Chains A and B, each alone.
Chain A
Amino acid sequence: GAVVSQHPSWVICKSGTSVKIECRSLDFQATTMFWYRQFPKQSLMLMATSNEGSKATYEQGVEKDKFLINHASLTLSTLTVTSAHPEDSSFYICSASRGANSPLHFGNGTRLTVT
């Protein structure tokens, strides 16, 4: 069964609004979670590494003030896309690992469409 739950699966919002995506590890504690974005026909791109109890580490070119990450507990990380624009429309995926050198388990992704 799924070990990482992501919600919502899809969302359509108007330009200028904010969208929050939740990522939960279901049967293990994850001190680190990862947020990815994937545009159509492109590869998975790491956006940021979410660290429980501390600030997220953002990849180069990802605006930390636009993509707010909160890792408030060992089982929950949230990504908020603030003031969304049509170019933010993408497939957002979170993942978590049971520990170093363990494979990643992915949420089922969130398809965001900004109109």
Chain B
Amino acid sequence: RKEVEQDPGPFNVPEGATVAFNCTYSNSASQSFFWYRQDCRKEPKLLMSVYSSGNEDGRFTAQLNRASQYISLLIRDSKLSDSATYLCVVASSMDSNYQLIWGAGTKLIIKP
């Protein structure tokens, strides 16, 4: 089992729809979680951190489920500009080593 898994997609979604995808992780000691967005041929950019109580930033909502070991990202009222690959990152600190594990990304395509 991979340490961090994402459905690669692509998710083809009509503009205005709501879309959600998950990211599962295997290390129960993981401490921090992030969602990044990567556009084609560009570097990843931080979309949002994921907090234990869940958090919202405009049309984006991130949730953490520690019991089932997954994080989720929900996008409401999707825009054409939301088309990108969404990467989840799981971080843990062990023996003063800071380790980041990346998911392979979920490709999202918003269609007009």
Q: Interface of A with B (CB < 8 Å)?
A: 32, 34, 43-44, 46, 91, 93, 97, 100-109, 111
Contacts and interface: CB of A to CB of B under 8 A. Distances in A.
24 contacts: A32-B98, A44-B38, A44-B87, A46-B100, A93-B44, A97-B98, A100-B91, A100-B98, A101-B31, A101-B93, A101-B98, A102-B32, A104-B34, A104-B36, A104-B44, A104-B46, A104-B89, A104-B100, A106-B43, A106-B44, A106-B45, A108-B43, A109-B42, A109-B43
Interface size class of B (residues with CB under 8 A): 20 to 34
Contacts of B104: 43
A4 to B, nearest CB: 9
Interface of B: 31-32, 34, 36, 38, 41-46, 49, 87, 89, 91, 93, 98, 100, 102-105
Given A100-B93, A103-B49, A104-B89, A93 B100 contact: no
A32 B97 CA distance: 10
Which secondary structure dominates where chain B touches chain A?
strand
B83 to A, nearest CB: 15
B49 to A, nearest CB: 6
A106 B47 CA distance: 12
A44 B34 contact: no
A24 to B, nearest CB: 15
Contacts of B32: 101-103
B104 to A, nearest CB: 4
Contacts of B46: 103-105
A106 B89 CA distance: 13
Contacts of B31: 101
Contacts of A91: 41
Given A100-B98, A109-B43, 7 more contacts: A43-B102, A44-B44, A101-B93, A103-B32, A104-B46, A105-B46, A108-B42
A112 B44 CA distance: 17
B105 A43 contact: yes
